[in-house]
């Protein structure tokens, strides 16, 4: 059986600020009342704003395909209830690449000289850190999925090539 | 002679230079070929069974693992002593064809190739 | 400490070796290397019989001395000092010297880079500036697990403050949905041996033509992304293995795109040392200082090589069976920390310290940044450079 000459698989359909941002017009026109498309994406995830506030998406034909994708993508969010953080690390799958360590926004904010620039953590306030070749979690109470202002953060899940991080039910 | 299967070798994240290549655990991870559902059907093998791969350069028995990736006539083998058995001596200016090995394949009940026997 | 698990040479490793081994920040590959100091170590042997180190060194020197056509191969993850000694030994013994870089196009590309015929950049520049990275025929997530988290994709760089989400694009081109492909935002799957057609398609997009390959829309999209890149970096590996004409076309494409090239390669120190001395990065015969394809390890093994000294590289696992068997027939000496297929088929085994853990030295990262390796624990094993030096002295 012949193989397809070339298949392109764009991975921009995940439910994350970035996944949403990719499908927005990215013009930062502020019509929605937000300062940028990225902050609009964050609010969408937190269910603090609805997609129809971005009117260019509905008015311009060029955006139609992306809009449909967005609607599809946001549907589970509209239906789901957010739960407490329930971070699970599958140690058998993790191989310590550190992608999640460097991508987690809490790690980045707590450790501008370490995680933020790609290094191992230099602060003990970080959530994710690699030890003996496997990632370990600490300080989970500062996870963005936790507490009153929790959001459906995906920043440690999307970059994991091994699918080793999961939030079951979250 | 018609060839059935193209083997692409790859670097496996779970195989390490320092390991004992004769250990059971190493053999379990390194002496394998990943085939998709359709390929497995073609050879009548299921996951965990053995398959004989051969070409003019050598023959080797390895275990079948299910691949999540569609193969379309391709099997994936970690780069290891087992996949190298099938490499051709004919190089393109010294370049070895790790990513493109043509073989015939068939189901077998024979055990996985024992390197100690092969290099006795 | 510095990790020598791969040519990323991560410099942020925390390591405690006591009753238990505790390692912070290293990936599993790096951790396993440190953890391996207590497992699968090589024993000194001559013709399978256990001997003391001095006798194995004597035997090795004797074999090299009697050799008509010796070859020296390796090392993969070692120190510059060891690489220097390997070259000295090749000179003394009148041997060919080569390493893994000649099994794929990495050596060829590295030579072009050393000659300044192709642009490159450092990994730090990649972290600070790179907006589009391409991984063509390589899978750093598996082979160099922290390269993308430390440099090319996930970190915030000086001029890429918003990190990967908004500031960077990553494109994987491979025959297989590798781990790297899994996390890149674009992936082009190319059937084995057909990269050339994709190269042509990109050239078409760059010159404003419609590509004639695969899914035109996505090729156009990616082609335009490449065109618009401010600071593009192209990583390559073993997957680039088409004919030599095509590799030159590939280099042309790299030049057309303005991308910087970074071959993902181990043992670049040896390549650099050889280049500084001879103008070539591998395949040198010190008998007459000649350079050529006949000095490629695989080709040479098909010829009349009678003695091989392999340093810290399991070459037997990476070559065709017939050649591995040939290696077993000739006088093969293996020098390295762990046992493997090459040591198994060698006549002489000389164990070494694991460098960067049990011995110190310097090493080059894949982009030639020099790092100082420390000795973390004491051991009874001699550093590999010392063993090579002693073989040389005994010649
Ligand atoms: S209205 Fe839409 S395009 Fe304009 S800033 Fe808001 S999200 Fe972006
Ligand atoms: S969910 Fe977000 S905040 Fe929580 S650990 Fe993952 S990346 Fe960090
Ligand atoms: S990204 Fe995945 S594999 Fe990498 S360290 Fe995090 S959990 Fe482990
Ligand atoms: S990426 Fe390479 S150098 Fe860095 S910790 Fe892993 S094995 Fe060591």
In tens, the pLDDT along C43-78 reads: 999 999 999 999 999 999 999 999 999 999 989 989
Interaxial angle between packed helices C268-278 and C80-93, expressed in degrees from 0 to 180 and rounded to the nearest 10: 50
What is the average pLDDT across C7-17?
96
Among candidate residues C188, C180, C170, the one with its CA nearest the CA of residue C130: C170
Model pLDDT, residue A6: 37
Q: Say if CB B99 and CB B33 are below 8 A apart.
A: no
**C249 and C128 in one domain?**
yes
Ligand 4 atom 1 nearest Cα: C146
The SS3 call for residue C74 is coil
Provide the residue-wise pLDDT of chain A in tens; the chain has 170 residues.
223 333 333 344 567 788 889 899 999 999 999 999 999 988 888 778 889 999 999 998 889 889 998 888 887 666 554 445 678 888 899 999 999 999 999 999 999 999 999 999 999 999 999 999 999 999 888 998 887 777 888 899 999 999 999 886 55
Ligand 2: residues with CB < 6 A are A 104-106, 127-128, 143-145, 153, 155-156
- In angstroms, the Cα distances linking C47 to C44, C328, C345 are 10, 11, 10
For each of the domains in chain A, give its residue range(s) and CATH number, in order of start: 17-79 (1.10.15.40), 88-166 (3.30.70.20)
Structure token pair of residue A112:
């501008």
How many C-alpha atoms does B80 have within 13 Å on its Cβ side? 26
Picking from C248, C263, C278, the residue at the C-terminal end of a domain is C263
CATH code for position B88? 2.40.40.20
Cα gap C372→C361, rounded to integer Å: 6
The number of folded domains in chain C is 2
Is A136 at the interface with chain C, CB within 8 A?
no
Higher pLDDT, A154 or C357: C357
DSSP secondary structure letter of residue C261: E
Model pLDDT, residue A82: 46
Q: Residues of A with CB below 8 A from C202's CB?
A: none
Model pLDDT, residue C344: 97
CA of B40 to the centre of ligand 3 (A): 31
Model pLDDT, residue A42: 85
**C246 and C147 in one domain?**
yes
Q: Give the residue on C whose Cα is nearest the Cα of A13.
A: C185
Model pLDDT, residue A10: 39
Q: What is the mean pLDDT of chain C?
A: 94
* Residue C240 pLDDT > 90: no
- Range C355-369 burial, b when 16+ CB lie within 10 A, else e: bbbbbbbbbbbbbee
Residue C35 lies in a domain: no
Question: Which pLDDT tens digit goes with each residue over C241-293?
Answer: 665 668 888 999 999 999 999 999 999 999 999 999 999 999 999 999 999 99
Q: What is the ipTM of this complex?
A: 0.95
Give me the residues of C, 150-209, that contact A with CB < 8 A.
150-151, 154-157, 163-166, 177, 179-180, 182-191, 194, 197-198
* Residue C306 pLDDT > 80: yes
Model pLDDT, residue C196: 86
User: DSSP string of C316-338?
Assistant: GGGS-HHHHHHHHHSEEEEEESB
How far is the alpha carbon of B97 from chain C, nearest alpha carbon, in Å? 7
Instruction: Note whether C145 contacts A96, CB cutoff 8 Å.
Output: yes
Instruction: Note whether B14 contacts A95, CB cutoff 8 Å.
Output: yes
User: DSSP string of C184-245?
Assistant: SSEEEE--TT-HHHHHHHHHHHHTTPPP-SS-HHHHHHHHHHHHH-SSEEEEE-TT--S-HH
* Residue C184 pLDDT > 80: yes
Ligand 1 atom 7 nearest Cα: A37
Quote the domain boundaries for residue B92.
3-118
**C386 and C275 in one domain?**
yes
Model pLDDT, residue A5: 36
Model pLDDT, residue A13: 52
For CA atoms C124, C167, C133, A99, the dihedral sign is: positive
The SS3 call for residue C57 is helix
Q: Which of A6, A38, A134 is opposite residue C28, by nearest beta carbon?
A: A134
**C239 and C225 in one domain?**
yes
CATH code for position C126? 3.40.228.10
Q: Residues of B with CB below 8 A from A1's CB?
A: 38, 72-73
Quote the domain boundaries for residue C131.
106-263
Model pLDDT, residue A14: 66
> Which of B36, B40, B70, B100 best probes binding to A when mutated, by most A CB atoms within 10 angstroms?
B70
Residue C17 lies in a domain: no
Cα gap B119→B94, rounded to integer Å: 24
Instruction: Note whether A133 contacts C30, CB cutoff 8 Å.
Output: yes
The number of folded domains in chain B is 1
Model pLDDT, residue B3: 56
What is the average pLDDT across C281-309?
95
Residue C251 lies in a domain: yes
CATH code for position C321? 3.40.50.740
CA of C351 to the centre of ligand 2 (A): 45
Residue C27 lies in a domain: no
Is C3's C-beta closer than 6 angstroms to any atom of ligand 4?
A: yes
Which of A8-12, B64-68, C214-218 has the least mean pLDDT?
A8-12
Q: What percent of chain B has pLDDT over 90?
A: 76
Picking from C202, C228, C263, the residue at the C-terminal end of a domain is C263
Q: Please give the biggest Cα pair distance in chain C.
A: 68
State which of C1, C4, C13, C26 you would mutate to test the pocket of ligand 4, scoring each by most atoms of that ligand within 8 A of its C-beta.
Answer: C26
């Amino acid at each position: 059986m012949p193989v397809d000459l070339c298949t392109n698989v764009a991975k921009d359909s995940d439910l994350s600020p970035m996944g949403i941002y990719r499908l927005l017009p990215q013009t930062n026109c502020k019509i929605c009342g937000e300062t940028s498309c990225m902050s609009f994406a964050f609010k969408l995830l937190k269910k603090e704003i609805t997609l129809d506030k971005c009117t260019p998406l509905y008015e311009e034909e060029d955006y139609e395909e992306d809009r449909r994708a967005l609607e599809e993508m946001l549907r589970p969010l509209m239906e789901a209830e957010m739960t407490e953080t329930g971070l699970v690390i599958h140690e058998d799958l993790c191989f310590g690449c550190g992608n999640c360590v460097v991508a987690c926004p809490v790690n980045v904010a707590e450790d501008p000289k370490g995680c933020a620039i790609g290094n191992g953590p230099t602060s003990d306030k970080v959530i994710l850190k690699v030890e003996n070749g496997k990632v370990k979690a600490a300080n989970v109470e500062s996870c963005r999925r936790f507490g009153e202002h929790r959001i459906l953060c995906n920043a440690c899940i999307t970059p994991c090539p091994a699918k080793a991080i999961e939030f079951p039910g979250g | 002679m018609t060839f059935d299967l193209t083997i692409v070798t790859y670097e496996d994240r779970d195989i390490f230079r320092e390991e004992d290549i004769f250990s059971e655990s190493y053999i379990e991870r390194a002496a394998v070929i990943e085939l998709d559902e359709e390929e497995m059907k073609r050879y009548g093998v299921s996951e965990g069974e053995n398959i004989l791969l051969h070409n003019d350069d050598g023959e080797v028995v390895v275990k079948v693992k299910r691949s999540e990736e569609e193969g379309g006539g391709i099997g994936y083998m970690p780069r290891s002593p087992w996949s190298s058995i099938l490499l051709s001596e004919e190089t393109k200016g010294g370049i070895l064809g790790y990513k493109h090995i043509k073989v015939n394949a068939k189901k077998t009940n024979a055990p996985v190739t024992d390197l100690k026997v092969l290099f006795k | 400490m510095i990790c020598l698990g791969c040519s990323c040479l991560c410099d942020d490793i925390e390591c405690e070796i006591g009753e238990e081994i505790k390692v912070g920040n290293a990936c599993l590959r790096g951790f396993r290397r440190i953890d391996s100091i207590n497992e699968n170590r090589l024993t000194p042997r001559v013709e399978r019989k256990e001997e003391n180190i001095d006798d194995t060194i004597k035997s090795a020197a004797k074999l090299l001395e009697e050799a008509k056509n010796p070859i020296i191969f390796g090392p993969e993850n070692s120190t510059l000092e060891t690489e220097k000694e390997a070259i000295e030994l090749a000179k003394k013994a009148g041997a060919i010297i080569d390493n893994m870089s000649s099994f794929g196009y990495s050596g060829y590309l590295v030579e072009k880079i050393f000659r300044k015929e192709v642009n490159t950049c450092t990994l730090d520049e990649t972290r600070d500036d790179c907006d589009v990275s391409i991984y063509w025929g390589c899978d750093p997530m598996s082979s160099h697990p922290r390269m993308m988290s430390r440099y090319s994709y996930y970190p915030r760089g000086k001029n890429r403050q918003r990190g990967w989400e908004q500031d960077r694009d990553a494109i994987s081109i491979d025959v297989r949905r590798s781990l790297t492909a899994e996390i890149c935002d674009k992936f082009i799957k190319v059937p084995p041996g057909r990269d050339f057609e994709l190269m042509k398609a990109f050239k078409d997009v760059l010159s404003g033509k419609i590509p004639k390959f695969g899914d035109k829309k996505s090729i156009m999209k990616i082609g335009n992304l490449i065109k618009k890149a401010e600071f593009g970096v192209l990583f390559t590996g073993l997957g680039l293995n088409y004919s030599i004409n095509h590799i030159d076309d590939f280099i042309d494409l790299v030049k057309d795109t303005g991308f910087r090239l970074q071959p993902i390669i181990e043992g670049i120190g040896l390549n650099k040392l050889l280049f500084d001395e001879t103008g070539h990065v591998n395949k040198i015969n010190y008998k007459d200082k000649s350079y050529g394809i006949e000095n490629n390890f695989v080709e040479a093994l098909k010829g009349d090589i009678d003695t091989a000294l392999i340093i810290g590289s399991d070459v037997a696992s990476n070559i065709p069976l017939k050649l591995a068997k040939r290696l077993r027939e000739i006088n093969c000496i293996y020098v390295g920390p762990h046992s493997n297929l090459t040591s198994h088929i060698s006549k002489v085994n000389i164990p070494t310290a694991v460098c960067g853990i049990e011995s110190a030295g310097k090493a080059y990262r894949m982009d030639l940044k020099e790092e100082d390796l420390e000795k973390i624990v004491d051991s009874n094993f001699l550093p590999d450079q010392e063993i090579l030096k002693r073989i040389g002295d005994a010649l």
